[in-house]
Structure 1
């Protein structure tokens, strides 16, 4: 009792859960997933490019503003050099001293105005920037104080110009790389789409061929059916001089189905169909008309004796199959009709061979006969 209870309570483990992760079946992405992922990558890439382009334009405006500031710096440095020369201090660009006592005050006033203009530009900067010292802007400010403030401003804004230029170059490089990547994605999507289109066309062509083959062939034996036989008959009659149809009926086959079962009967039909194909020439057509009836379309034969040899081989195929399966029941009756000597209309070849086959059956079966010229 306890043993049964313990066995009942043992949980049954799903065998799929015991599989390692690497053994799980990998599902290949479908076209919709690939297209969605590619579209997402394109949208992200375009958004990134748009952001970078906007940043580039902003940096370009910032660079233009820095250029204006540096122009003001250059003018202020020129005024400082002139004042320094008049003051007797070393100047960046030496000028001849003047004996005018008002020259230095005018140069100093000009420097103060240049510094005031520079301060106004710096104060109007769209980006935060270190302001000028108010003590350096006063007209009576010490020369050294004003000069140091100018040097500090010049150093800062020249460094800003280099930094903005480097940032612009990096952004342009990233935009170029992104555009190359997007082009590769677009090219990959196009190649993938063309590949899928070609694969789809191949699948459609393969299915169309399968449908056409199924419509023109017998499903069990693989032989051409009546429709395929008449199509081949029309094509052969237009290209060949003489053609013939051998109509075959399996004598005693109904007893095989009745006594041995339909499975044995189907095996017999498949086996005898294989032997029929092997016994005729490559250009001849062996077709299953239906049930236990077959037909062979022969083209380009020389004489009736050649057709008689083919008929004998077909009869032998049936007898060999019957012997191999140890049935002792099945034989063959064959009617032969030829165009244009015996039948003047090739569309009546099959019917004439069929009528002749029934004459063979009425005369004892297991043989062949030729249709009369009046058929």
Structure 2
């Protein structure tokens, strides 16, 4: 029986359920990745929208041309009907003159027959034009010569004129409507393409920023230690070379110094307390190193328990000695804080142009000075050219 103070042991979750949940999360992430659009997808979408829009515009323009042809054909029919109506009115005038004394004139009959023939010819042209319409339209029934009278033709003209005037007006309205559709479609396509272009440019810029950030991260990782965040040997040498080059460019003599630090007894921390404790020690002492030096100085981790400090523009050996004392104190304080009780530091100092005549030999000279300190009993510092001065802690 579980007592009041006991804690409830959680029921273990079956591995199959965990695998199922993990698979579901993985599938969800995969779907999310698939839904992400890139510049290429945006470009394809823009091309498809453009093609569909242009196809729609082409169809509308074709219909506009067809409506214009219908409108022009209706205009031809109405013009032919107007000519027939004019000939009908002239024939009616000649028919009214038939009862007048002028009809006895010898020139009356030829003129009357000519007016009647012109009326018949124009009406026949109208019938042929209406019956040959390319679009469905009410045809005009054939009429014999005796049936083609001004009164009968007037009735036909009334229906033909009304129908084809309505067709012309409808075609004209349809043309105006479709032209408006084409204009709106072109404006919408232009706006859509502009938005897609801006989106693609934005995504392209975002991708470039991401790549630039990744490149910066890679460059930072290649120049820094992953555990402590300090610069590595590569960046130390690059900074040393850059400082020397800057001095040569400015044609001034710049003093440079490297302090090489080795942690005495650090291996026992790993052996007795484990590598995790060793990593914590390195991270803590690295933070103290950064805080103890000047802002313009560079702290680097050279190896497992080896560090270096690049010092620019120092006053003299006493200032370098003071920096070495602070670095040694950082190790002692870190050792006391973590309770290891075993770690101290040996520091070798080399300066340019005082101790070495080539800045590229600074690291090696400081390393050699550090080993002299270790041979003399450790927990101290020494200069490359003046070994034997112990640290005054």
Q: How far does residue 343 in structure 1 lie from its aligned partner after superposition?
A: 0.9
2:138 corresponds, among 126, 130, 152, to 130
C-alpha separation between the residues in 2 aligned to 1:131 and 1:98? 41
Residue number in structure 1 paired with 2:341: 328
Instruction: Please state if 1:49 is matched with 2:57.
Output: yes
Q: Partner of 2:163 in structure 1?
A: 156
Question: In the superposition, relative to structure 1, how do residues 167 and 129 fare at CA in structure 2: closer, same or farther (>3 Å)?
Answer: same
Corresponding residue number in structure 2 for 1:20 = none
Residues 151-202 of structure 1 deviation map (CA, whole Å, 9 limit, x = unaligned): 1111111111111111111122212222222222332332233223222222
Counterpart in 2 of 1:99? Answer: 102
Take 1:251 and 1:219, find their aligned partners in 2: how far apart are those partners? 22
Would you say the 8 A contact 1:334–1:367 is kept in 2? yes
Give 2:264's match in structure 1, choosing from 251, 258, 264. Answer: 251
The separation in 1 between residues aligned to 2:292 and 2:145, in whole angstroms, is: 121
Secondary structure at 2:302 match in 1: strand
Does the residue aligned with 1:296 lie in a helix, a strand or coil?
Answer: strand
Deviations 1:224-274 (A, max 9, x none): 111110110111123351010000011110000000000000011011111
Report the CA distance between 1:215 and its aligned residue.
Answer: 1.3
Which residue among 327, 331, 353 is the counterpart of 2:366? Answer: 353
Assess, with a 3 A threshold, how the Cα gap between structure 1 residues 373 and 322 changes in structure 2: closer, same or farther.
Answer: closer
Mapped partners of 1:373, 1:362: distance in 2: 15
Would the aligned equivalents of 1:86 and 1:98 in 2 still touch at CA under 8 Å?
no
Aligned counterpart for 1:288 among listed residues 287, 301, 310: 301
Per-residue CA deviation, residues 21-43 of structure 1 (Å, 9 max, x unaligned), is xxxx9664412443333222222
The number of equivalent residue pairs is 349
TM-score by length of 1: 0.85
**Correspondence 1:310 to 2:323:** yes
Residue 183 of structure 2 is aligned to residue 180 of structure 1: no
Give the counterpart of 1:146 among 139, 153, 178: 153
Matched, 1:71 2:89: no
Q: Secondary structure at the match of 2:201?
A: helix
CA contact (8 A) 1:248 1:334 kept: yes
- The structure 1 residue matched to 2:375, chosen from 355, 358, 362, is 362
1:105: Cα distance to partner? 5.8
Q: In the aligned structure 1, how far is the partner of 2:96 from the partner of 2:316? A: 134
Match of 2:204?
197
Other-structure match for 1:7: none
How many angstroms does 1:223 deviate by? 0.8
What does 1:224-243 align with in structure 2 at a 5 Å threshold?
224-240=231-247, 241-243=254-256
Distance between the aligned counterparts of 1:318 and 1:213, measured in 2?
26
Cα deviation for residue 294 of structure 1 reads 0.1
Kindly indicate whether the alpha-carbon contact (under 8 Å) linking 1:343 and 1:349 is maintained by their aligned counterparts in 2: yes
Cα deviation for residue 98 of structure 1 reads 9.4
CA contact (8 A) 2:42 2:200 kept: no
Distance in 2, Cα, partners of 1:258 & 1:118: 116
Using a 3 Å threshold, how does the CA distance of structure 1 residues 362 and 26 change in structure 2: closer, same or farther? Answer: closer
Scaled by the length of structure 2, the TM-score of the pair is 0.81
Judge conservation of contact 1:108–1:139 (CA < 8 Å) in 2.
Answer: no
* Distance verdict in 2 for CA 1:360–1:83, change over 3 Å: same
Per mean C-alpha deviation after superposition, the further-off stretch among 279-288 and 99-108 is 99-108
Alignment gaps of 5+ in structure 1: 1-11, 17-24, 90-96
In structure 2, C-alpha distance between the alignment counterparts of 1:358 and 1:260, rounded to whole Å: 26
